[in-house]
Amino acid sequence: AGDSRYEEQKWHKRKKADLGPTIVHDEERCILCTRCVRFMQDIAKSPQLVVTRRGSKNTLSTYPGAPLDNPYSLNTVDICPVGALTSKDFRFKCRTWYLKSSKSLCPFCETGCNTIIQHMDGCVYRILPDKNEKVNGAFMCDQGRLFRKHISCADRVSAPVVKCNKNDATSTSAEESFDKIFAAVAEKSAAILKKDGPGAFGVLLSPYLSVEEAYLALKIFGETLKTPDIALINYGEGFDGFTFSDNYLISKDKSPNKAGISALAEAMNIKLAAPETIAANAESKKNRSVIFIGPSFGIKEFYDRHKKAIDTSDFVISLTTHFQNIASISDYIIPFLLWAESEGHFVNKNGLVQKFLPAVTPPGGAASPGNIETLRRLGACFNAKFEYRSAAEVFAEIKKRLKLFD
């Protein structure tokens, strides 16, 4: 390399300035356009960024002792025109041009923000907002973005599991085939049904179920089995410590499809019970079997309050995604897919029906039958016979039969 003809002293700035828990700032790359400053002030309503000093020494910074710590902070990465602001979660993890993009929805509250899942080789690297002026404009909250960590984590359920002895914390679990585990569920359920009738079954539904999944669950337990004890878990006050809400994008109710499931139950003349009723019935042995359907996260508060009660039931089944909460005390654990791995619809708080499609392959890979097939086989255990092969077939029946979600 030749000698530089530049004779003046170069002004060096910090390449990795820590602005807060989510953002790293490259001060030399920054052109001081103040887009991020204006976003935090005008959109996020939290003026935490400021341009300090004067002239050539101008620098983007935060106020003294006040880091950039806001539920919308990662939007500043999207709007930065030169890449001076980078996400600590994604920074240098992957070249962006290698990533594939799939349109999806955010499942973290009842707003239903439109998103883009960026992934490669089955791994989700980041989640970005997808512009929809009717729902979220061009932004989304940090919680929805960072949810990607739940998709490819170590405690995902990838195969059916039988707990050898749920009353022994040191007991091992054994993986089984889908055929064997559904045969065992059918045998045990038939014995309970013969002795104690439909009222012996209590069903807990997650508000993370899609319209199609919830319809099949209600059809199995409400219309075929006719158990009076079906409950929708309530995330109305938040969950897992995520209780923040505002008048912008983060709703108080963290249930992505509560509106859709409630509409289905009403149209099918099924009265939903309170989740606390299922726990009380399990403790009193009225519900000898408790069945949970949906993702494991979000029910920690309910599980912590009612673990002992649910654990007293004779037979616990979980169709779930992670080895957490109710799954940890279940006799049988059957894999269930997340929204990023399956197809379906959510209904947001304004009644807007939105479709999502699979972005990545589930942990079980080709061996995973999918949620519709899993629920079909569960239904067969309770003499509910239907032959749906896709979410599209189920949704078509819902529209035709119940006149919903047109």
Percent above pLDDT 70 for the chain? 97
In order of 55, 169, 328, 333, 374, the CA distances from 163 in angstroms are 67, 10, 9, 8, 19
CATH code of the region 11-91: 3.30.70.20
Strands 173-175 and 161-163: antiparallel
> What are the tens digits of pLDDT across the range 167-220?
555 555 778 899 999 999 999 999 999 999 999 999 999 999 999 999 999 999
pLDDT of residue 171: 54
Provide the CB-side half-sphere exposure for 181 (13 A, CA).
Answer: 24
pLDDT at 288 > cutoff 80: yes
Give yes or no for a contact between 167 and 193, defined as CB atoms under 8 angstroms apart.
Answer: no
In order of 140, 165, 340, 348, the CA distances from 238 in angstroms are 17, 33, 21, 16
Of 335, 328, 334, 261, the closest CA to residue 299 belongs to: 328
Provide the CB-side half-sphere exposure for 365 (13 A, CA).
Answer: 1
Burial class of 267 by CB neighbour count within 10 A (0 to 12, 13 to 18, 19+): middle
Q: State the distance between the two ends of the chain, measured CA to CA, in whole angstroms.
A: 67
Q: Which of 52-56, 113-117, 122-126 is predicted least confidently?
A: 52-56
pLDDT of residue 368: 80
Q: Which of 3-7, 301-305, 315-319, 381-385 is predicted least confidently?
A: 3-7
Give yes or no for a contact between 280 and 309, defined as CB atoms under 8 angstroms apart.
Answer: yes
The model's confidence at residue 165, banded by pLDDT at 50, 70 and 90, is low
In order of 149, 218, 225, 278, 288, the CA distances from 194 in angstroms are 43, 21, 12, 20, 12
pLDDT of residue 167: 55
Domain boundaries, the chain: 11-91, 161-402
Which pair of structure tokens corresponds to residue 348?
């947001």
* Cα dihedral across residues 30, 75, 246, 234: positive or negative: negative
Give yes or no for a contact between 93 and 39, defined as CB atoms under 8 angstroms apart.
Answer: no
Lateral strand order in the sheet of 17-18:
17-18, 23-25, 85-87
pLDDT of residue 46: 93
Of 374, 288, 386, the closest CA to residue 333 belongs to: 374
The model's confidence at residue 393, banded by pLDDT at 50, 70 and 90, is very high
- Taking residues 13-19, what's their average pLDDT? 94
**161-402 CATH pick, 3.40.50.300, 3.60.15.10, 2.30.30.240, 3.40.50.740:** 3.40.50.740
Give the Cα separation of 124 and 101 in Å (integer): 10
Which pair of structure tokens corresponds to residue 65?
């002792």
- Taking residues 276-289, what's their average pLDDT? 95
pLDDT of residue 20: 96
Burial class of 286 by CB neighbour count within 10 A (0 to 12, 13 to 18, 19+): middle
pLDDT at 139 > cutoff 60: yes
Give the Cα separation of 375 and 293 in Å (integer): 9
- Taking residues 243-248, what's their average pLDDT? 91
The model's confidence at residue 10, banded by pLDDT at 50, 70 and 90, is confident
Give the Cα separation of 397 and 202 in Å (integer): 26
103 DSSP β-pair partners: 116
Lateral strand order in the sheet of 289-293:
173-175, 161-163, 332-335, 315-320, 289-293, 201-205, 230-232
101 DSSP β-pair partners: 118
Greater pLDDT, 240 or 8: 8
- Taking residues 251-262, what's their average pLDDT? 95
* Cα dihedral across residues 236, 237, 239, 245: positive or negative: positive
pLDDT of residue 166: 56
The model's confidence at residue 316, banded by pLDDT at 50, 70 and 90, is very high
pLDDT of residue 243: 87
Burial class of 225 by CB neighbour count within 10 A (0 to 12, 13 to 18, 19+): buried
Give the Cα separation of 356 and 185 in Å (integer): 30
Question: What is the C-alpha R_g of the chain?
Answer: 25
Give the Cα separation of 379 and 261 in Å (integer): 18
Which pair of structure tokens corresponds to residue 215?
């319809």
Please give the model's pTM, rounded to 2 decimal places.
0.93
In order of 30, 45, 70, 84, 356, the CA distances from 65 in angstroms are 22, 19, 14, 22, 41
Phi, psi of 309 (to 5 degrees): -65, -45
Q: Round the average pLDDT of the chain to a whole number and report it.
A: 92
What is the number of other CB atoms lying within 10 angstroms of the CB of residue 335? 25
